Amino acid sequence: MSRLVLVSNRVPDVKERVQSAGGLIVGLGEAVRDTEGLWFGWSGQHHENAVSSDVQIEQLHRVTFATIDLTTDQYTRFYENFANGALWPLCHYRLEMIRYRQEDYDSYKKVNALFARKLAPLLREDDVIWVHDYHLMMLGAELKKLNIRNRIGYFLHIPLPPWSVTRVLPCAGALLSALSEYDLIGVQTEEDRENFNSCFSATGLSTRVEHFPIGIAPEEFREEARRNVDAPEVVRLMDSLRGRKLVIGVDRLDYSKGIPERIKGFEKLIQRYPQHEAKVVMLQIAPVSRAGVSAYQHLRREVDELSGHVNATFGTFDWTPVRFLTQSVPRHVLAGFHRRADIALVTPLRDGMNLVAKEYVAAQDEDDPGVLILSSLAGAAPELKAALQVNPYDPDQIAEALHLALTMKKEVRKKRWRFLNVEVQRNTAARWAAEFLSVLKEVR
């Protein structure tokens, strides 16, 4: 069997593989678990001066982890400014937030070329190479320049807009041209696939694009949730609620996740339906992410203000309506929280997939499941049709969905959950990886 080579910007260290708040890491952990593999990427370290050009190697079971450091300049320009300051807002349809600078794009190209130069000597002839995400759009083309003839697949975890939007980025044509050198491009949804094809046909390019919606390891998450339903932190949370219903939101603190609109929706619920006053608590867990990018600092302030406003307006001496936490919560505790939560509010303005929605479903108690409120603009929406779907830009719809969920009969909750659970159980992370790789092995 040929070896699987994974390349992603971040390579998890052992601790992180258990605790990380990154979606890619969770999905890929599944993919390499049962094969011999090499996982190559950035170590997470950056240094002011020229870094040692060494590749750091670590072995864990049958997987070799190979990482390189970046300079602080590369970290700032390639990672913060270009990947997170230009590509991320573009792909999430937030054109006003794009900060494009030629120097940052140059750094992006250089880091993609650096990855290729460091990876090439580690490759074997029959390796299958699978590159991940928006940081590494040009890696395949750079490897080909070095005469690497292996099959190279690429998966984009975030959305891709149609050409009418994508063309806003001055270097869009060059990026698409590099992307067309991959043997297979995988995306999350049918819509992303159509958009890719729209971009390729407008620029006279082509390669095979298919959609492979990513999943979770549902059995494991369900077990985690069951085991932790009475974990000390979960018991303390339940005690603190004193019988009130729990609405949970779990995200990285990112402007794509629609957190302000969600809090406004919760506020409207309390305004419009006084019967829920002092009967429900919203727990929003959103660890700070990409704090070096200015848009994220603004978001932090906005969410602080909005949650403070709701609490000051509606709170009483013994009821705080919104609990906003930027501390991270360990994964096993989150699983227990999910199982106890009556409602999950998963309302991104755009999302490649959104695995939190699937984790919430997997964590539920089948005899008394909670209700998933899901953005119709999340990549998970086409699969999770039995969720209460809302337009995430509209706090009124969020308020109505919350009211419906809070008053939903158990039989209806069970029926909806069973439909959701079938989807989550069917389309696992392992299956996602297997399907991508089987198509990759047959192309060309």
The residues that are catalytic are 157, 351
Site string for ligand ADQ, 269-298 (x = CB under 6 A): ----------------xxx-----------
Provide the minimum distance between the beta carbon of 117 and ligand ADQ in the complex, in angstroms, as a whole number: 27
- CA–CA separation, 77 vs 101, rounded Å? 9
- CA–CA separation, 114 vs 136, rounded Å? 11
Residue number closest to ligand ADQ, CB atom = 23
**158 is an interface residue for ligand ADQ by CB under 6 A:** yes
**352 is an interface residue for ligand ADQ by CB under 6 A:** yes
Q: Where are the alpha helices (DSSP H) in 120-162?
A: 139-145
Residues 237-266 touching ligand ADQ, rule: CB under 6 A, are: 250-252
Query: HSE on the CB side for 118, CA within 13 Å?
Result: 23
Provide the minimum distance between the beta carbon of 188 and ligand ADQ in the complex, in angstroms, as a whole number: 7
Of 285 and 343, nearer to ligand ADQ (C-beta) is 285
Which neighbouring-strand residues pair with 290? Answer: none
Stretch that binds ligand ADQ, among 61-69, 166-174, 351-359, 401-409 (CB under 6 A): 351-359
Stretch that binds ligand ADQ, among 65-73, 109-117, 260-268, 327-335 (CB under 6 A): 327-335
Instruction: Report phi then psi at 27, rounded to 5.
Output: -65, -40
Provide the minimum distance between the beta carbon of 335 and ligand ADQ in the complex, in angstroms, as a whole number: 9
Residues 6-25 touching ligand ADQ, rule: CB under 6 A, are: 21-24
**382 is an interface residue for ligand ADQ by CB under 6 A:** no
**336 is an interface residue for ligand ADQ by CB under 6 A:** no
Cβ partners under 8 Å of residue 339, min gap 6? 225, 226, 228, 229, 234, 363, 364, 365
3-state secondary structure of 193: helix
Site string for ligand ADQ, 207-236 (x = CB under 6 A): -------x----------------------
Q: Could you give the dihedral angle defined by the CA atoms of residues 188, 224, 248 and 156, in that order, rounded to the nearest 10 degrees?
A: -20
Q: Using an 8 Å Cβ cutoff, are 152 and 143 in contact?
A: yes
Residue corresponding to tokens 């049958």: 62
The identity of residue 25, as a single letter, is I
How many residues bind ligand ADQ (CB under 6 A)? The answer is 26
Kindly state the tokens that stand for 48. 């002011």
The identity of residue 255, as a single letter, is Y
Of 150 and 425, nearer to ligand ADQ (C-beta) is 425
Residues that bind ligand ADQ (CB under 6 A): 21-24, 26-27, 157-158, 214, 250-252, 285-287, 328-329, 334, 351-356, 359, 379
